[in-house]
C-alpha cells in the first residue's frame, strides 16, 4: 500500500516537473518569437528609412543633372539650381549616413553589402552633378543611373529575402526614355 502511494506520488511529481519544463520551453519559444517579430519590424522600418534617404539623394541629383544638361527628361519647373541642390544633397546625405548605420545593426552581410553598393551608385550621381567627376556627359550620366537602378534592385532583392517577403522580386526596367521635346511633339506616342 505504501509502495503504491509512493509510486503515485512519484508519478504526480514527474508529471508536475514535465509540465513545468514543457511550459517553460513553450514560454521561452513564445518570448523568442515576440522578440524576433520586434526585430523584424525594426528592420523593416530601417530599410524603409534608408530607401527614402537614398531616393531623396537620387531625386535631387536627377534634378540637378537636368539643370546641367546631363539629361533632358525633366520639366523646366522641376530642375534644381546646383548650389541649392548641393545643400539639399548634403542634408540628405547626413540622414542617409544615420540610416545606413541603423541598417548595419540589424541586417545580414549580404544586405549590408548591397546597401554599400547602392551608396556608391548614388554617390557617383552626386559627384557628377557637383563637378567632382570632370567632363561627365550625358552618356556617363545614363551609365550612372543604370548602375544606380541595378544596385537598387540588388538591395531590394536582399532586403526581401532577409525579411522573408514571399513572391519574387520584379526588377526595375528603365527603357531608354525619349526627351521631353520628343514627347511634346507626339512622336514618342505613335
pLDDT tens digits, the chain, 190 residues: what are they?
777 777 777 777 777 777 776 777 777 767 677 666 667 788 889 999 999 999 999 999 999 999 999 988 788 888 899 899 999 999 999 999 999 999 998 899 999 999 999 999 999 999 999 999 989 999 999 999 999 999 999 999 999 999 888 887 777 765 555 565 665 666 544 4
Q: Is 70 exposed, middle or buried (0-12, 13-18, 19+ CB in 10 A)?
A: buried
Q: Judge whether 130 lies within some domain.
A: yes
Q: Judge whether 162 lies within some domain.
A: yes
Q: Judge whether 70 lies within some domain.
A: yes
Q: Judge whether 88 lies within some domain.
A: yes
Q: Judge whether 19 lies within some domain.
A: no
Who's near 52: CB < 8 A, 6+ residues apart? 99
Q: DSSP assignment, residue 167?
A: S
Q: How many structural domains does the chain have?
A: 1
Q: Judge whether 57 lies within some domain.
A: yes
For cell 523568442, the residue is 32
Q: Is 117 exposed, middle or buried (0-12, 13-18, 19+ CB in 10 A)?
A: middle
Print burial letters for 80-96: b (CB count within 10 Å at least 16), e (below 16).
bebeebbebbeebbebb
Q: DSSP assignment, residue 164?
A: T
Q: Which domain holds residue 142?
A: 50-189
pLDDT at 174: 58
Q: Judge whether 61 lies within some domain.
A: yes
pLDDT at 187: 54
C-alpha cell belonging to residue 158: 536582399
Q: Judge whether 72 lies within some domain.
A: yes
C-alpha cell belonging to residue 42: 525594426
pLDDT at 179: 60
Q: Using a cut of 0.95, tell me whether the model's pTM lies above it.
A: no
Amino acid at each position: 500500500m505504501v509502495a503504491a502511494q509512493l509510486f503515485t506520488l512519484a508519478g504526480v511529481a514527474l508529471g508536475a516537473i514535465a509540465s513545468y519544463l514543457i511550459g517553460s520551453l513553450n514560454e521561452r519559444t513564445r518570448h523568442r518569437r515576440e522578440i524576433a517579430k520586434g526585430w523584424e519590424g525594426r528592420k523593416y522600418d530601417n530599410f524603409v528609412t534608408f530607401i527614402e534617404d537614398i531616393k531623396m539623394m537620387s531625386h535631387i541629383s536627377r534634378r540637378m543633372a537636368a539643370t546641367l544638361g546631363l539629361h533632358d527628361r525633366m520639366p523646366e519647373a522641376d530642375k534644381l539650381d546646383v548650389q541649392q541642390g548641393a545643400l539639399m544633397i548634403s542634408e540628405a546625405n547626413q540622414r542617409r549616413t544615420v540610416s545606413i548605420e541603423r541598417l548595419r545593426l540589424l541586417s545580414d552581410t549580404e544586405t549590408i553589402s548591397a546597401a554599400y553598393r547602392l551608396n556608391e551608385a548614388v554617390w557617383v550621381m552626386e559627384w557628377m552633378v557637383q563637378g567632382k567627376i570632370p567632363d561627365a556627359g550625358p552618356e556617363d550620366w545614363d551609365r550612372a543611373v543604370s548602375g544606380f537602378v541595378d544596385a537598387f534592385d540588388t538591395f531590394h532583392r536582399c532586403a526581401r529575402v532577409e525579411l522573408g517577403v514571399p513572391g519574387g522580386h520584379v526588377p526595375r526596367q528603365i527603357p531608354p526614355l525619349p526627351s521631353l521635346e520628343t514627347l511634346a511633339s507626339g512622336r514618342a506616342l505613335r
